[in-house]
Each structure stands twice: as C-alpha cells, then as structure tokens.
C-alpha cells in the first residue's frame, strides 16, 4: 500500500519537472546574439501554425532566425539529448552498471570510424548526398554492436551482462585504435574530423529534426512497452530467468534499440558524452528506479540539458562556437564526480 501511495506521489513532481524542461528549451532558443522574448516566440508559433502572417510588430529578422535557425537547432539538440539519455538509462539497467552508456558497446567508436573513413577518403555516393556521413556513421556503429553481440553470444549464450560489457570494451579499444590510424591520414581534413568527433548542432535544419524526433519517439515507445521486463532484468539475469523472462531475446531487443538511439544521434551530431550518464542518474534520485518513470523523465531532462548545453556552446564565446561535446563534458564530469562521491560516502 505504501509503495502505491508513493508511486502516485511522483505525479505532481513529474508534471512540474516536465513543464520546467519545456520552459528551459524555449529559454535556450531565446538567448543569442539577437534576443527573442518568450512572448514573441509564442506569437510567432501561434500565427505560423494557423497559416497566418506574423504581426508586423515582431521584426521579420526575428521571425526568420526563430523559425529557420534556432527552433530547428534547439529541437535537434532536445531530441538528440532525449535519445542519448534513453539509451543510457537502458544500458545502466540492463547491464547493472551505473557507468554504462550507449557508448559501452562501441556505438560511438564505430560511428566515429565510419565517419572518419568518409571524411579522410572524400568518398561520395550521389544517391545519399548530404546523408552520406550520418549513414556511414550509423552503419559502422551498428556493425560494431552486432560484432560485440555475436562474440559475446559465442562465449556466453545467455549474454550475461559482465560478458557483454567486457567484449564491448575490448571491441571499442580495437575500433578506437583503427580510428587513430585512419585519423593519421586526415591531413587537411583533420580539423573537420576533430569538429565532428566533438559534436555540433550548427547548421541543423528541419529534416535533421524529423529524423532525430522519429528515432527518439520510436525508441521511447518501444522501451516503455518493455519497461516491466527491464525492471526485472535490472535485478540480475538469474532473477529474471526465475520469473520467466526470456532474457536473451529481451536483452538483444533492448540493446539494439539503445544502439539505434545512440547511433542515429552520433551519426547526425558527432560524439557527445555525459548526457547519457548524468540524466538517468538525476532522474533515479528524483523519481525512483521504476523505468516507467525513469525513461520518460530521462528523455525530458536529457533533452533540455543538451539544448541548454548547445545554447552555451554558441553564446559563451560568440561569435565563435565551441563544440557542444566539450560543454557537456565540462558540466557533466564534475557533476557526475560529485554524485559518485556522495554515493560512496553513504555506503
């Protein structure tokens, strides 16, 4: 009875947190070289969605900046952050490892290697056009994870968490070595390669938002449908088997969904760390360990965190822009250390 009452008690705080996350998203859009007030943004959206001309009281320049530059960029960051946080939440529960993330299985390393190959060789596929870089990165990341799962399955047919983590680390180290080798041939393209590996939302448009939104919402729905199984498996493989969960099938499904989420984000935005580590930890401290709460709140908090980090990356040294991956690391690393030290003191 107490558990049920406590679970219901999370509703108001979750609603307030969700509203704050949405507000932070619009704050991240408002701040910049040209400041756009929240009221102006609301007016622009209201008239644009109704197909009516925006009132002349709002400068046309502000309308263009809001609709064509800042809104798609902020939404791309929001959905990317949400997807990365979902992936991290799943990995931490599934592998029973608080330091696990979507990068544990080599998704980031594989995607970076695929993108590096395209950048260094100047390879082109006319049919893919500007989607060549993200497509090659996603394909390489997916292949890396499939290799990890295949090797882990040969060693341990039940795919126990320790085995998957160990093989993922080994494969990641190998892929990173290959990435270093490819990078040594970058030459004049070294700067482009470095910028991609540090992550950026510069130049993101509505078609980027569409892909990231579709991947994030698809992953959220699939993971919420599997939340009960994920809760059971977070206590260990043996307990899940005892209850009757098909651990192998569920684990492969969830790992592939997490890979999809991380792979799509890395492919479109480059490598961005710490979002998938920090957001799920914050959510579990605020709302408990149930994945029915952890997953949607990780999505919202991770999304708003990355949107704010992107705002900092484009404004703190304006007009120069710094990689968003550097911002998330500078914010996330100390934050994560503080959380870790507090947990150790409690223990």
Q: What is the pLDDT of residues 230-246, one digit of tens each?
A: 888 877 767 777 777 77
| Stronger pLDDT, 193 or 282, i.e. the higher one | 282
Q: Averaged over 101-115, what is the pLDDT?
A: 81
CB atoms within 10 A of CB 309: 26
Rg (the chain; Cα; Å): 21
Over residues 35-47, the pLDDT tens digits come to 999 999 999 999 9
Q: Band the pLDDT of 8: cuts 50, 70, 90.
A: low
Averaged pLDDT of the chain: 85
Question: Directed axis angle between helix 190-198 and helix 107-121, to 10°?
Answer: 160
Q: What is the pLDDT of residue 78?
A: 97
Q: Band the pLDDT of 28: cuts 50, 70, 90.
A: very high
User: Considering only 121-130, 145-154, 210-219, which range has the smallest mean pLDDT?
Assistant: 121-130
Q: What is the pLDDT of residue 339?
A: 67
Contact 93, 233 (CB under 8 A): yes
Domains of the chain: 34-346 (1.10.3470.10)
Q: What is the pLDDT of residue 6?
A: 44
Q: Averaged over 251-272, what is the pLDDT?
A: 85
C-alpha closest to that of 140 among 175, 177, 181? 175
């Amino acid at each position: 009875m107490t558990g049920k009452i406590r679970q219901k008690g999370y509703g108001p705080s979750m609603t307030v947190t969700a509203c704050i996350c949405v507000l932070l998203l619009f704050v991240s859009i408002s701040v910049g070289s040209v400041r756009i007030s929240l009221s102006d943004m609301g007016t622009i959206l209201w008239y644009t969605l109704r197909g009516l001309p925006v009132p002349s009281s709002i400068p046309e320049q502000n309308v263009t900046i809001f609709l064509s530059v800042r809104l798609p960029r902020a939404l791309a960051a929001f959905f990317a952050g949400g997807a990365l946080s979902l992936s991290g939440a799943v990995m931490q529960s599934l592998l029973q490892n608080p330091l696990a993330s979507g990068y544990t299985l080599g998704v980031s390393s594989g995607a970076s290697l695929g993108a590096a190959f395209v950048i260094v060789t100047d390879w082109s596929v006319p049919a893919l056009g500007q989607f060549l870089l993200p497509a090659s990165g996603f394909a390489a990341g997916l292949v890396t994870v499939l290799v990890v799962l295949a090797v882990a399955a040969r060693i341990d047919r039940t795919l126990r968490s320790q085995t998957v983590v160990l093989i993922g680390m080994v494969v990641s180290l190998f892929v990173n070595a290959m990435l270093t080798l490819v990078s040594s041939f970058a030459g004049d393209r070294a700067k482009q390669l470095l910028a991609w590996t540090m992550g950026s939302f510069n130049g993101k448009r509505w078609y980027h938002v569409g892909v990231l939104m579709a991947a994030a919402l698809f992953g959220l729905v699939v993971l919420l449908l599997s939340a009960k199984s994920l809760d059971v498996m977070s206590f260990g493989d043996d307990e899940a088997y005892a209850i009757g969960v098909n651990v192998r099938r569920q684990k492969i499904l969830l790992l592939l969904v997490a890979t999809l989420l991380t792979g799509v984000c890395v492919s479109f935005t480059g490598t961005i760390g710490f979002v998938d580590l920090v957001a799920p930890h914050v959510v579990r401290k605020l709302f408990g360990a149930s994945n029915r709460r952890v997953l949607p709140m990780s999505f919202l908090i991770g999304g708003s965190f990355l949107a704010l980090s992107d705002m900092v990356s484009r404004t703190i040294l304006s007009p120069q822009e710094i990689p968003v991956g550097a911002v998330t690391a500078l914010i996330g690393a100390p934050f994560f250390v503080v959380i870790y030290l507090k947990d150790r003191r409690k223990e």
